[in-house]
């Protein structure tokens, strides 16, 4: 469980409210509440929906919504800090030329044929 999930669960338990009661009162699916408390970010919907859920969660438990959203923001910042962006492989473009995809050659040929056809049609139309 994440610190944010622990915060939510601790506050809910302190108010002696079950997840199913919270789900019924807020109309938030039970599974979503479970994922929120577990800190399962990958299984949660878009962040805008999560913010709305946290507001409703806090409102029902009579918590300060801004504090709850602040905890959510801290959790999101911590998750983003953990993301590691892989380094791109070293460039070897100077060592050898990268072959063109076969279809890219076809596109050039098709364009050339189109231009020739247009020139021929325009020449006949002008005469």
pLDDT at 10: 93
> Is 80 exceeded by the pLDDT of residue 29?
yes
Whole-angstrom distance, CA of residue 33 vs CA of residue 49:
12
Give residue for tokens 């946290």: 54
Buried b (16+ CB within 10 A) or exposed e, 56-82: bbbebbebeeeebeebbeebeeeeeee
Q: Quick one: pLDDT band at residue 103, thresholds 50, 70, 90?
A: low
> Is 80 exceeded by the pLDDT of residue 22?
yes
Whole-angstrom distance, CA of residue 1 vs CA of residue 8:
11
Whole-angstrom distance, CA of residue 51 vs CA of residue 69:
7
- 48-82 tens-digit pLDDT: 999 999 999 999 999 999 999 999 999 888 888 77
pLDDT at 85: 65
Give residue for tokens 């610190």: 3
Give the chain's domains with CATH numbers.
3-82 (1.10.260.40)
Q: Quick one: pLDDT band at residue 115, thresholds 50, 70, 90?
A: confident
């Amino acid at each position: 469980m994440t610190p944010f999930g622990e915060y939510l669960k601790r506050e809910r338990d302190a108010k002696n409210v079950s997840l199913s009661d919270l789900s019924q009162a807020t109309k938030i699916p039970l599974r979503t509440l479970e994922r929120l408390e577990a800190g399962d970010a990958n299984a949660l919907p878009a962040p805008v929906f999560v913010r709305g859920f946290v507001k409703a969660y806090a409102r029902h438990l009579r918590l300060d919504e801004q504090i709850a959203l602040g905890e959510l923001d801290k959790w999101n910042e911590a998750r983003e800090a953990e993301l590691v962006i892989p380094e791109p492989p070293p460039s070897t473009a100077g060592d050898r030329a990268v072959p063109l995809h076969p279809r890219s050659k076809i596109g050039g040929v098709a364009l050339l044929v189109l231009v020739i056809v247009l020139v021929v049609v325009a020449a006949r139309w002008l005469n």
